[in-house]
Chain A
């Protein structure tokens, strides 16, 4: 963050959400080991083809729902991938406080990648065997019991995403990182996807969700991280940020934090990626 002093939060606050940016932080190690933060990235940067996508970001997440918002190409997916441990940062460190857990992090990438030819149950059974989890219970949790015997390739986009959420939550990881779980879904499925993920928060899970849908963020998220041009423009508990920026809604907060007139807007099926500007030329938001 750094460019916007009001969004600063260099020290770990009572939410456990820490924003680094240019400013100093009290260290990811401390937030992970001493606070209730379950995962943290410290001064991480990432570039692709020499073009910086993420620049010196520090962030820690604690139990609750943390929403990561920002324009396309702002670095959200890269940040989430690094937080999940599936993308190697160019510089910086990543720590997971739940390293003792059998599965420290659950991860749903932006594109649900399951192998064709397997049913929903078989897909979750594969992952379930690795963490001693019951695939049928996981399917039931996301409301896919009736589709258990359907092949992955014959599931609708929404069902695939729900299956992806079920996979990410399999094994009860302390941190669940979900990259646009509601993207491209109809309003009902969007709500269901968000609600399913958010239900884990009261159980002590840190649920990190990126989304373009600010209404859902407003309805379900406890903390907000606004990413813009590879940096964190604002971060903290939503209520506090509203007060800091003197705004009423997350949409206004987003506009104030990023300095953009148009908000992200309400996501609609198939249009999730049509808003916002791409600020890192030639680089996709990975």
Chain B
């Protein structure tokens, strides 16, 4: 893949390229002790939250209520840790230049890297969260006092939905973090950009919404606006399809389709942006030099 005039082969070749990069990336993640520590830390945090909050001893929905707010920060943080160097590592060491002499396209390369990181996210975030679910399922008992503050119809299915939305939130952050990593020039700048993604995503969306409302935007538009950000979409989906199933709210927390499209869009947009950054970096660099040279 050293030039656009090179043959890329067919679908089978593309799939082989994705699979090959995927395996290498997954092996890299599996051999990095830090990610195992991240999973353990995430699990400890979740167990601690449901234990301290009391919801974990009562049922799935109370546990989800306890976890919802912290998860909005913890999952993006874990996703950014998994993604902030995903598309930088090979470029920084120079190995990407070598890989590009092989018949694997940029799209296949980025897809392989991101798919492996998504699997890692499912293990690092989904694994401990699933264990918490198992724990709640095995130990929860009715507690009137808790139910008084956590009204809801309890069901493991609700927790599974919560897990799915959680992974959707993580995928969005992972993809955006990976895309941003593609434009980083060093590990330090990658960390800075990753922190920017995390802070901007976790706090920026809600602050922007509040700013918008204070600027005169109709309150009725809140659900639509909320769905635009990953955190807003996640929170809305959890309220809409997990916590809110026990009662019939008068209005939607968030339009489901819009929220799902938002999470999918951030994920896809990050992947496309990352791929474009990797693909165009050399040409952009050369174009800048042409401008400098006045040619």
Query: Interface of A with B (CB < 8 Å)?
Result: 45-50, 52, 81, 84-91, 94, 96, 99-100, 102-109, 111, 113-115, 117-118, 122, 126-127, 129-131, 167, 171, 173
**B6-36 vs A, Cβ < 8 Å mask (1 yes, 0 no):** 1100000000110010011001100110000
Q: B94 to chain A: which residues have CB within 8 Å?
A: 109, 111, 113
A102, B101: Cβ atoms under 8 Å?
A: no
Number of inter-chain CB pairs below 8 Å: 105
The docked-state distance in angstroms from the alpha carbon of A129 to that of B94 is 20
Query: Interface of B with A (CB < 8 Å)?
Result: 2-3, 5-7, 16-17, 20, 23-24, 27-28, 31-32, 89-90, 93-95, 97-98, 100-104, 282-283, 285-286, 289-290, 292-293, 295
Other-chain contact of B16, A52, A115, A129 (Cβ < 8 Å): A129
For A126, the closest partner residue in chain B by CB is B24
Q: B103 to chain A: which residues have CB within 8 Å?
A: 102-103, 130-131
The 3 closest A-B pairs by CB, nearest first: A85-B2, A113-B94, A88-B286
Other-chain contact of A52, B28, B89, B104, B293 (Cβ < 8 Å): B293
Q: A105 to chain B: which residues have CB within 8 Å?
A: 2, 101
**Chain B nearest CB: distance from A80 CB in Å?**
11
| A47-B292, A48-B289, A117-B28 given; A84·B95 CB < 8 A | no
- The prevalent SS among residues of B at the interface is helix
Q: List 8 additional A-B contacts (Cβ < 8 Å) besides A46-B286, A130-B103.
A: A45-B293, A45-B295, A49-B292, A86-B97, A87-B282, A109-B97, A109-B98, A129-B20
The docked-state distance in angstroms from the alpha carbon of A45 to that of B95 is 24
A81, B97: Cβ atoms under 8 Å?
A: yes
For B101, the closest partner residue in chain A by CB is A107
A131, B292: Cβ atoms under 8 Å?
A: no
Q: B289 to chain A: which residues have CB within 8 Å?
A: 46-48, 50, 90
The docked-state distance in angstroms from the alpha carbon of A181 to that of B146 is 69
User: Taking each of A52, A85, A122, A167, which has the highest tally of chain B beta carbons within 10 Å of its own beta carbon?
Assistant: A85
Q: B98 to chain A: which residues have CB within 8 Å?
A: 86, 107-109, 113, 127, 167
Other-chain contact of B100, A86, A102, A173 (Cβ < 8 Å): A86
**Chain B nearest CB: distance from A127 CB in Å?**
6
